[in-house]
Amino acid sequence: MPDVPIPRSLADRLKKWEQLRDKVPTVLEETPHLREEHTNFDQALKQLVLFEHQQETATARLREATRLRDEQDKRVRLLNNRLVAGLQAHFGPESERLIEFAIPPRRRRRRRKSELSKQPTGLKAQEPAN
């Protein structure tokens, strides 16, 4: 007896079931008690194929919607960056006014203690010679 693999995926099961659906009519003369079962099986299989097509269509629409959303997200981020840059140029990158627009102002750079100790103390700044 040949090994018949167990179909694991829906596509494999559909192939197997379609083969069964197509072969059973050849023996319905001998097995009239299976006629109603075959009819029900055929209708259920057609419904399953219809659902499979609907799912494929929905998946394609979802992919397209995701692609369009990602493109729009990229566009909005670009426009956001331009707007933020414009507001920072107008008010200054450290301005507290930026908070009104949900833009965190840049922190002022603080000198480290080691940088302060490197500066000479008590020396007057030399004036440039004219």
Contacts of 99 (CB under 8 A, 6+ apart): 105
Query: Is residue 28 classed as helix, strand or coil in its secondary structure?
Result: coil
Question: Helices marked H in the chain — which ranges?
Answer: 10-23, 35-91, 113-118
And the tokens for 3? 């090994």
Backbone angles phi, psi at 121, to 5 degrees: -110, 145
The model's pLDDT over 106-115, given as tens digits with 9 standing for 90+, comes to 987 777 777 6
* Res 41: pLDDT: 96
Enumerate the domain spans of the chain: 10-107
The model's pLDDT over 56-87, given as tens digits with 9 standing for 90+, comes to 999 999 999 999 999 999 999 999 999 999 99
* Res 107: pLDDT: 87
CA atoms of 29 and 25, how far apart (whole Å): 8
In this predicted structure, the answer to whether residue 104 has a pLDDT above a threshold of 80 is: yes
Taking alpha carbons only, the member of 53, 49, 40 closest to residue 15 is 49
CB 91 within 8 A of CB 103: no
Q: pTM of the entire structure? A: 0.59
